Structure 1
Amino acid sequence: MADIFREIDEDVRRDRAIEFWKKHGNKLIGLAFLAVAATAGWRIYDYNQTQRAEAAGARFEHAIELSRAGDTDEAEKEFAAIAKDSTAGYEKLARFREAAEQAKQSPAEGIKTYDALAGDSSVAPVLRDLARLRAAMLAVDTSSMDELKSRLQPLLASGSAWGANARELLGLAALKAGDYDAAGKAFDEIITDRTAPPSLKQRADLLLGIVRSGPIKPAS
């Protein structure tokens, strides 16, 4: 008797499966084809992206070699080209290197490119702050203290990765201008900053010693 019920149950399940296939078979086949096509498309895309990244890496290395060889003009052109038509990662790196090459011949052009990076919302915040710092480093000899402070103010906020570097630059500019109080304040803030790198704290300590010794008086 149990065998009869089992056979009936199997027949019912088979009939249901046939009925389900009649209703949804074409849809299942279509979904299967879509899955295969999507997988193939992703593999093609991934392969193309890998090829582009490898090509961009080779071009970037070539541009660095040009820079090391002193061929600044060609290095700048190559970095500019990479920045325009390369993958996202190398595009950002190339823009930074382009600015560095420009600064060798024209600090003003380097500042302009760094400022563009600092204002580009597609660039990671920490890199935008780095661009601000490098622009300020180029502008330190030609800017007033107020202009320099305006450039570096965004980096002085709590938690900034480049805050200690910004304070060092402000301290050096103040020291050069003869403002020993402002210079001492900047260097002291670096020393008491728990997040500042040890090497930067050591430099600040040495510079603070110069500040404490006061201006060098001319020999009588």
Structure 2
Amino acid sequence: MSELFDEVDEEVRREQLKKLWDKYSIYIIALAFLVIAGVGGWRGYQYLEAQKAAEAGAAFDRAVELAEQKKHAEAEAAFADLAAKAPYGYRILARLRMAAEVAARDKTAAAKMFDEIAADTSVGAPERDMARVRTAQLLLETTPYPNMLQRLETAAGKDGAFRHSARELLALSAWRANDPTATRKWLDMITNDGDTPPGLRSRAEALQALLPPVAKS
């Protein structure tokens, strides 16, 4: 008797499933199609993006070769093209390198380009700090210390990716301004940072030796 009930239950379930399939099969098929199309589209997008990145990488390498051959005008044009058309990461790198090429002929124009990168909130913090440092390097001899401080203080913070270079530039700027207190402040930050590169540490220690002794209170 139990086997008969089992057969009846099985038949009822089949009938229910058939009704559900007849009612919703079009939606199930459509959903499956959308899932397959979505996965295929995503894979296609990934392939195209990878291809674009590979092409941009090759073009970036060619531009770098032009720069190394001192073909600055050609390199500048190549980096400008990448900055306009390449995927995001290569666009930022190309903007930085293009500004560096411009610096070979016009420091003021290059500093402006680096400033634009530093002010661009769509650019990552390390790249913005790099742009600040590059601007400061170009303007060190012509910019007063307060202006340099305004430009570099953020980059010189404890978590800055380019804090070592920023601190050295601020120390040099303060030294040029005959401000031993500010000079000593930045040199101390350099020598007290365990991650300071050895060469930079040596330069900081050499400059510290030139400072007047601290007055005793």
TM-score (norm 1): 0.89
1:180-219 matches, within 5 Å, as 180-211=180-211
Residue of structure 1 in register with 2:46 after alignment: 46
**Separation in structure 2 between the aligned mates of residue 165 and residue 69 of structure 1, nearest angstrom:** 27
Q: How far is the alpha carbon of 1:81 from its aligned partner?
A: 0.6
The equivalences for 1:1-220 within 5 A come to 1-211=1-211
AA matched with 1:209:
A
SS of residue paired to 1:14? helix
Aligned equivalents of 1:174 and 1:90: distance in 2?
Answer: 35
5+ residue gaps, structure 1: 214-220
- Kindly state the Cα deviation for residue 66 of structure 1 after the two structures are TM-superposed: 0.2
> 1:151 Cα shift?
1.3
Residue 37 of structure 2 aligns with an amino acid whose one-letter code is A
Shift of 1:158: 4.2
Mapped partners of 2:50, 2:15: distance in 1: 50
CA–CA distance in structure 1, aligned partners of residues 108 and 95 of structure 2 = 15
CA deviation digits over 1:137-164, x for unaligned, max 9?
A: 1111111122212211222444333333
RMSD over aligned Cα atoms:
1.8
Please give the secondary structure, in 2, of the residue aligned with 1:211.
coil
- For residue 40 of structure 2, give the secondary structure of its aligned residue in structure 1: helix
How big is the shift at 1:171?
1.3
Give the CA deviation at 1:99.
0.7
Query: Amino acid of the residue matched to residue 3 of structure 1?
Result: E
CA distance in 1, matches of 2:158, 2:40: 48
Gaps of 5+ in 2: none
Change (3 A) 1:187 1:15: same
Q: Helix, strand or coil: the match of 1:154?
A: coil
Residues 144 and 177 in structure 2, CA contact (< 8 A), matched pair in contact too: no
C-alpha separation in 1, matches of 2:199 and 2:13: 76
**Cα separation, 2, equivalents of 1:108 and 1:28:** 64
Q: Name the % identity.
A: 39
Distance in 2 of aligned mates of 1:79 and 1:119:
20
Question: In 1, distance between residues paired with 2:83 and 2:168?
Answer: 31
